[in-house]
Structures are given as structure tokens and as C-alpha cells.
Amino acid sequence: MKLTKLCIAAVMTALFAGCLNEGDQEESLAETQQAHSKHHQKKGKLNPGYNLFLFEDTAFIPAQPGSDVTAGRELFGVAADLQTRDDTLALFTGPSFVAQGVVASNGRTCFDCHRGTADQFGLPEPPLSNTIPPTDPIFTGVNADSGGDPRAPALLDQHGLIKYRPNRFNAARPAEDPYRQVFFWRKSPALLNVGLTHGFLMDGRARTLREAAQGAVFSHTQDSDDRFDDLLSEPAAHDFSAFLLSLVTDPALAALRDESDPMHDTLMNDPFYTVPIQTKAQRRGRKVFEKACFSCHNTPNVFGNRDGALALGPDGLNPEFPSHAPAVGRTFNVGVSERNAHNLEFTRWTGTAFEPIVLPLANDDGTIENHVVTFDIGLAATTARVADIGRFKVPQLRGIANLAPYFHDNSAATLEEVIDYFDSPEYNQSKDGRHFPIHLNHKQKSDLLEFLLIL
């Protein structure tokens, strides 16, 4: 099944989306209408707070016909062994009509933040300086992310956190606009199984891999706020996406993206088909997972979230509405941002002092409230919705034993800490934890851990 870009009718989204390209619409209107009509026949779950329909779906992004995985790998900056850095074809530099000048690279490639199979295409456990030399581009190029913020080098090294300004390249808004200045401290996520999800980046604000990749290239490889869209051509972006789609923890999982694959229905109908359960503790842990975790981690055999979204119009669905919203999947606020376990600061560095960032956010009734940013506000930074404060995507869980530390801010060092958090008042009293409460005894926690370790 082709993935048609789906639309979220979110308040003020078009005003604040930072690096999303409205020209990236690859399907015809007829295809869009057909897909919307097909989805409309399904039994959807209306979520009024989001003004959208949610459907359990696995219409994941396919590779573009004719795209070249090898060319995409070379653009990513990793050798054929998927472990060795190779920047031969991976530096974004040269004359740019869009930037109106010559773009100078800081030497970074995608590999520098997603370091191959040894680190699950993420970063190693911090401190990064334990395994990465100080001359590495991830350290020498930090100013591209930080804009001179003196807090950035230590947070990168000690916690593996990178400064992101999601609306940094929105030229429609002045440089001093709070939406241009709002930022996060977030980990560099592992990219395995990245193609088996709805929406991209940790808060789901990117609709396609091209959008996610383009924003990363702009943000991490040069020090200015200039765009250089023409240095990442559409064919190259398709190659890049094809490479990312090839990164799976188990080759069998690729069948989830192809309904014609003989294994597709098997994987869909048995959510645990590829999980090597052998012991009684693992079987008990699976039952705990089904009861406590599967309501959110419900993608079969991947255990991300499979809830896709369709736009609402006057008649329930409006297939002619262009899909310019920044996300196509479901997001949750489970309280991790508000907890702010590392006591991260979210004041803006002006070059001489730190100043608070105040964002005007919209309530569902249209009223505006000024929000002083004191923690990572998640998807709200790009949708400008109060309801999206602290909302993030549900991460996939395959290979999770090798993905420590956990959460978007690397605030849980072990899986035991993750399990304890979801059994805590902080989670159960969070915005979405109240709807999906979790209460486990010691034995259930132990069994759940045994199950997670084999994913």
C-alpha cells in the first residue's frame, strides 16, 4: 500500500512549521482522495482534542521506485561495512542559489550523529568523550547546533544531548521571533526501523524522511540560518530515504511495508511473531507487555505506535485539504519533559546573557496563552498548540536493550529505570498517563524486563 501523506488539522500549524517543504507532495489529488476514501471505510477513533481521526494502520513510507540505496549510504557518510565513516560524497558544500552564496561545511556528516551499526545508528552512551576523540566533527562542529550557547558542549559530551531549534529556518518569521528561537535539548535517536513509523523525528513533526533529513542537514552542518535546499536534490533525497528505509533490526520486518510480501499478513496477525520467546519469564513478560504497554506500543513486531491520522472537514473528512501539517501519527505526553530529570535550562542565549522564551500558544477554543518555556515542550513548538505541550512519538522497541540511555533527554540509564518510571506517580499523573495507567508489582516488573531484553 502506498503511503499518502495524511493531514492533521492543527491550529496555526502553517504559521510555525520551520523546515517542512510544501512542495514535497508526491501523490496526485486522485490518489489522495482514493486513500482517504479507503481509510474512511475503516472504523476510526475520533479524538476531538486533536481534531483528527486515528486509525491503526501500517501504510508506511515505501522506497521511491528507482532510488539507489548505495547512493543514499554514500550521502549519509558511512562505508559499505555500515560502521566506518566515509565523507567522500557526504559533505554539503558548494554554490547554492537558495543560500545566495557558497555553503561551507563544518565537516559533519549524518554518520557523526548516527554512528553505524555498532551504535544502532545513534550515538554511544555518554560521556561521548570516552569513545569519541575531541577532534571528531561532532565536537568541532557543535556551534552549528548551539549558536554559541555555552551550555551545549558539556551537555553534548556528558549527556549526549544536542540543541535543536525546530523553526530555525523559517524565513517567514523574523530572526528574533520566539518561534525561531525556541529550542530543545534532545538525544540523537537510533535510526534502526525508522521506516516503520508514522511521522519522523522524536516529536513526529516531519512527515517524510526527506523533511527530517533536510532539517538535520541544515541544522548540523553549517553555522548560519541559511537554507540551501538545492544542495539536496529530489533524486538524492529519494536515495537517502531508501538507505534509511533499509535499516531494520530484522530483515523480516521489511515485509510490513509491502502488502504483497508473503510474510506481511503473518507479521500483522501475530504481533510477536519475530520475538524469540523461550523462557517462562519471557512469556509472562509478554503478557505484562500486552496489558501495560501494547495500547501505545501497538505496531506488530516493531512496537512503535501504528495510529495514523486523517484530516477532519465539515463532512467528517476533507480529502482535498493539502497535507501541510507537521505530523501524521499519534503523539503522547507521558510526563518525561515536565520531570526534566537533568534540570535542563531552556532560556535563550543572546550572546551575552540568558533570556526567557515566551511562546504564544493556541487553545482549542482559539484563545491564546503566553507560555514561558521551562522544559522541552515537544510538538507544541511547531504546532503552536497548548494541547501538544510535552507530546512525543512512541519509539519503536526492537533492540531496545542496546539503546540506552532512554527517553528523548537520555534521562533513564537502564531499562529498569524506564519500567520504574512508567509505574510511578509522575507517569500515572501525566496528561496521557491518566488515560493509560500502569501499576506493576515486583514480579511483573522482573518479567517485563526479561521480555524487553529479547526484543
The closest alpha carbon to 186, from 142, 155, 140, belongs to 155
* pLDDT score at 198: 82
Question: Tens digits of per-residue pLDDT, 13-23?
Answer: 333 333 333 33
Residues in the chain predicted with pLDDT less than 50, given as ranges, are: 1-44, 46-51, 311-327
Could you tell me the CA-to-CA distances from 244 to 134, 257, 287, 455 in Å, in that order?
28, 13, 32, 20
What percentage of the chain has pLDDT greater than the value 70? 83
Question: Tens digits of per-residue pLDDT, 312-365?
Answer: 444 444 444 433 343 467 899 999 999 999 999 999 999 999 999 999 999 988
Cell reading at 67: 532510488
Q: How many CB atoms lie within 10 A of CB 413?
A: 13
* pLDDT score at 10: 34
* pLDDT score at 29: 28
For the entire predicted model, the pTM comes to: 0.86
Q: Which string of b and e fits 251-285 if b means at least 16 CB within 10 Å?
A: eebbbbbeeeeeebeebbeebbebbeeeeebbebb
Q: CB–CB of 240/191 below 8 Å? A: no
* pLDDT score at 18: 37
Could you tell me the CA-to-CA distances from 388 to 13, 275, 385 in Å, in that order?
11, 33, 5
**Distance from the Cα of residue 27 to its chain's centroid:** 23
Q: CB–CB of 424/437 below 8 Å? A: no
